[in-house]
Structure 1
Amino acid sequence: MHKLSCSSYEELVSRFSLEVPEKYNFAFDDLDRLADATVDGSGNPLALVHVDDDGTRRDYTFSWLKDASSRLANVLKTQGLRKGDRVMLVLYRRVEFWVAMLACHKVGAVPVPSPSQLTPKDIIFRVNRANIRAMIVEDSITDRVEASRPECPSLTCLVEVGGTSRPDSRPDSRPDSRPDGWLDYETAVADASPVFPKPQGDALAGGSDPLLIFFSSGTTGMPKMVEHTHTYPLGHYMTGAYWHDLEEGDLHLTLADTGWGKAVWGKFYGQWLAGASVFVWDFRGKFEPARLLEQLAEHKVTSFCAPPTVYRFLVREDLAKYDLSALRHCTTAGELLNDSVFLAWKKQTGLPIYEGYGQTETTLQICTLPTMEPKPGSIGRAAPGWDIVLRDMAGRICPPGEEGEICVRVSEKTPVGLFTGYMEDPEKTASVMLNGYYHTGDKAWVDEDGYFWFLGRVDDLIKSSGYRIGPFEVESALVSHEAVVEAAVTGVPDDLRGQIVKATVVLSAGFTPSPELTKTLQDHVKKVTAPYKYPRIVDYVAELPKTISGKIRRVEIRQRDEEAAKK
Structure 2
Amino acid sequence: MLKVGKRLLQLHHGKVQLHHGKVQRHYGQFYINNLEFIFKRSLKECSKILATRFSIGQHSALRKSLKSHQPIRSFLTAVSATGFNDYELGRKHFELEIPEYFNFVEVLDEWAQKEKNGERKTRNPALWWINDEGKELKWTFQDIQSKAKRFANILEQVCRVNKGEVVMLILPRVPEWWLVNVACLRTGTVLCPGTTLLRAKDIKQRLQDAKATCIITDESVAPFVDQVADECPELRSKLLVSQVGQTRIGWLDYRGLNEEASEDHKCVSCKSSDPTCIFFTSGTTGLPKMVEQTQSYGLAHVITGRYWLDLTSIDIHWNTSDTGWAKSAWSSFYAPWIQGSCIFVHHTPKFDPCKTLKILDKYPVSTFCAAPTIFRMLIQEDLQPYNLDSLRHVLSAGEPLNPEVIEEWRKRVGHVIREGYGQSETVLLCGSFRCLPLKPGSMGKPAPGYDLCIVDGEGNELGPGHEGDIGIRVKPNRPVGLFTGYINDPERTAAVFKGDFYLTGDRAMKDEEGFFWFLARGDDVITSAGYRIGPFEVESALIEHPAVAESAAVSSPDKIRGEVVKAYVVLASNYEVKDEENLKEELKKHVQNITAPYKYPRKIEFVKSLPKTVSGKIRRIDLRNNEWAK
TM-score range, shorter chain: 0.7 to 0.9
For 1:562 and 1:327, the matched residues in 2 are separated by 53
Are the equivalent residues in 1 in contact too, given 2:377–2:560 (CA < 8 A)?
no
**Counterpart position of 1:31:** 108
Q: Of 606, 609, 618, which residue of structure 2 is paired with 1:563?
A: 609
**Cα gap change, 1:299/1:423 in structure 2, threshold over 3 Å: closer, same or farther?**
same
**Cα gap change, 1:392/1:506 in structure 2, threshold over 3 Å: closer, same or farther?**
closer
**TM-score between both structures, scaled by the size of structure 2:** 0.72
Q: Of 51, 55, 64, which residue of structure 1 is paired with 2:130?
A: 51
Q: Does 1:365 align with 2:429?
A: yes
Residue 239 of structure 1: SS of its match in structure 2? Answer: helix
Q: Of 198, 222, 226, which residue of structure 1 is paired with 2:287?
A: 222
**Cα gap change, 1:436/1:225 in structure 2, threshold over 3 Å: closer, same or farther?**
same
Q: How does 1:426-445 map to 2 (within 5 A)?
A: 426-445=490-509
**Counterpart position of 1:71:** 150
**Offset at 1:508?**
7.6
For 2:310 and 2:84, the matched residues in 1 are separated by 12
Q: How does 1:454-469 map to 2 (within 5 A)?
A: 454-459=518-523
For residues 485-516 of structure 1, what are the alpha-carbon distances to aligned partners after superposition, in whole Å with 9 as ceiling and x for unaligned?
A: xxxxxxxxxxxxxxxxx98455789xxxxxxx
Which range is displaced more, 350-359 or 2-11? 2-11
**Cα gap change, 1:394/1:414 in structure 2, threshold over 3 Å: closer, same or farther?**
closer
Residue 292 of structure 2: SS of its match in structure 1? Answer: strand
| Corresponding letter in the other structure for 1:34 | W
Are the equivalent residues in 2 in contact too, given 1:105–1:205 (CA < 8 A)?
no
Are the equivalent residues in 2 in contact too, given 1:46–1:62 (CA < 8 A)?
yes
For 1:552 and 1:311, the matched residues in 2 are separated by 23
For 1:241 and 1:418, the matched residues in 2 are separated by 18
| Corresponding letter in the other structure for 1:162 | S
For 1:551 and 1:303, the matched residues in 2 are separated by 30
**Counterpart position of 1:293:** 357
Residue 140 of structure 1: SS of its match in structure 2? Answer: coil
| Corresponding letter in the other structure for 1:59 | K
Are the equivalent residues in 1 in contact too, given 2:170–2:195 (CA < 8 A)?
yes
Runs of 4+, deviation exceeding 4 Å: 505-509, 541-554
**Counterpart position of 1:465:** none
For residues 191-222 of structure 1, what are the alpha-carbon distances to aligned partners after superposition, in whole Å with 9 as ceiling and x for unaligned?
A: 111121133xxxx2231000000111335431
Q: Does 1:197 align with 2:266?
A: yes
| Corresponding letter in the other structure for 1:454 | F
Q: Does 1:207 align with 2:272?
A: yes
**Offset at 1:367?**
0.7
For 2:288 and 2:394, the matched residues in 1 are separated by 31
Q: How does 1:91-170 map to 2 (within 5 A)?
A: 91-162=171-242, 166=245
Residue 313 of structure 2: SS of its match in structure 1? Answer: coil
| Corresponding letter in the other structure for 1:104 | C
**Cα gap change, 1:59/1:36 in structure 2, threshold over 3 Å: closer, same or farther?**
same
**Cα gap change, 1:85/1:365 in structure 2, threshold over 3 Å: closer, same or farther?**
same
| Corresponding letter in the other structure for 2:299 | L
Are the equivalent residues in 1 in contact too, given 2:422–2:429 (CA < 8 A)?
yes
**Counterpart position of 1:86:** 166
| Corresponding letter in the other structure for 1:33 | E
For 1:435 and 1:413, the matched residues in 2 are separated by 13
**Counterpart position of 1:276:** 341
**Counterpart position of 2:90:** 12
| Corresponding letter in the other structure for 2:455 | R
**Counterpart position of 2:617:** none
**Offset at 1:422?**
0.2
Residue 119 of structure 2: SS of its match in structure 1? Answer: coil
**Counterpart position of 1:188:** 257
| Corresponding letter in the other structure for 2:405 | V
Which range is displaced more, 96-105 or 268-277? 268-277
Which range is displaced more, 35-44 or 419-428? 35-44
**Cα gap change, 1:373/1:561 in structure 2, threshold over 3 Å: closer, same or farther?**
farther
**Cα gap change, 1:217/1:557 in structure 2, threshold over 3 Å: closer, same or farther?**
farther
For 1:282 and 1:142, the matched residues in 2 are separated by 19
**Offset at 1:434?**
2.6
**Offset at 1:25?**
0.2
Residue 38 of structure 1: SS of its match in structure 2? Answer: helix
**Counterpart position of 2:460:** 396
Q: Of 310, 314, 317, which residue of structure 1 is paired with 2:374?
A: 310
Are the equivalent residues in 1 in contact too, given 2:130–2:347 (CA < 8 A)?
yes
Paired positions, count: 481
For 2:243 and 2:383, the matched residues in 1 are separated by 39
For 2:478 and 2:274, the matched residues in 1 are separated by 16
Q: Of 229, 250, 254, which residue of structure 1 is paired with 2:319?
A: 254
For 1:130 and 1:350, the matched residues in 2 are separated by 45
Q: Of 227, 231, 248, which residue of structure 2 is paired with 1:178?
A: 248
Are the equivalent residues in 2 in contact too, given 1:253–1:279 (CA < 8 A)?
yes
For residues 256-308 of structure 1, what are the alpha-carbon distances to aligned partners after superposition, in whole Å with 9 as ceiling and x for unaligned?
A: 01100010111111111112100011111x32111111111111111011111
**Cα gap change, 1:115/1:392 in structure 2, threshold over 3 Å: closer, same or farther?**
same
**Cα gap change, 1:437/1:50 in structure 2, threshold over 3 Å: closer, same or farther?**
same
Residue 448 of structure 1: SS of its match in structure 2? Answer: coil
**Cα gap change, 1:459/1:9 in structure 2, threshold over 3 Å: closer, same or farther?**
same
Are the equivalent residues in 1 in contact too, given 2:459–2:500 (CA < 8 A)?
no
| Corresponding letter in the other structure for 2:379 | V
For 2:555 and 2:118, the matched residues in 1 are separated by 57
Are the equivalent residues in 2 in contact too, given 1:253–1:278 (CA < 8 A)?
yes
RMSD of aligned residue pairs (Cα, Å): 3.0
For 2:558 and 2:472, the matched residues in 1 are separated by 35
Residue 20 of structure 1: SS of its match in structure 2? Answer: coil
**Counterpart position of 2:12:** none
For 1:557 and 1:240, the matched residues in 2 are separated by 41
Which range is displaced more, 71-80 or 388-397? 388-397
Unaligned runs of at least 5 residues, structure 2: 1-28, 30-80, 530-553, 562-583, 613-630
Q: How does 1:472-491 map to 2 (within 5 A)?
A: none
**Cα gap change, 1:86/1:267 in structure 2, threshold over 3 Å: closer, same or farther?**
same
For residues 443-466 of structure 1, what are the alpha-carbon distances to aligned partners after superposition, in whole Å with 9 as ceiling and x for unaligned?
A: 0001111000001112359xxxxx
Q: Does 1:319 align with 2:383?
A: yes
**Offset at 1:234?**
1.3
Residue 296 of structure 1: SS of its match in structure 2? Answer: helix
For residues 356-388 of structure 1, what are the alpha-carbon distances to aligned partners after superposition, in whole Å with 9 as ceiling and x for unaligned?
A: 110110000111111001111101111010011
Q: How does 1:221-240 map to 2 (within 5 A)?
A: 221-240=286-305
**Counterpart position of 2:99:** 21
Are the equivalent residues in 1 in contact too, given 2:406–2:440 (CA < 8 A)?
yes
**Cα gap change, 1:322/1:272 in structure 2, threshold over 3 Å: closer, same or farther?**
same
**Cα gap change, 1:6/1:101 in structure 2, threshold over 3 Å: closer, same or farther?**
closer
For 1:348 and 1:242, the matched residues in 2 are separated by 26
**TM-score between both structures, scaled by the size of structure 1:** 0.79
**Offset at 1:562?**
8.0
**Offset at 1:239?**
1.1
Sequence identity (%): 39
For 1:87 and 1:562, the matched residues in 2 are separated by 45
Residue 375 of structure 2: SS of its match in structure 1? Answer: helix
Are the equivalent residues in 2 in contact too, given 1:106–1:198 (CA < 8 A)?
yes
Which range is displaced more, 40-49 or 123-132? 40-49
**Counterpart position of 1:353:** 417
Are the equivalent residues in 2 in contact too, given 1:4–1:12 (CA < 8 A)?
no
For 1:86 and 1:549, the matched residues in 2 are separated by 25
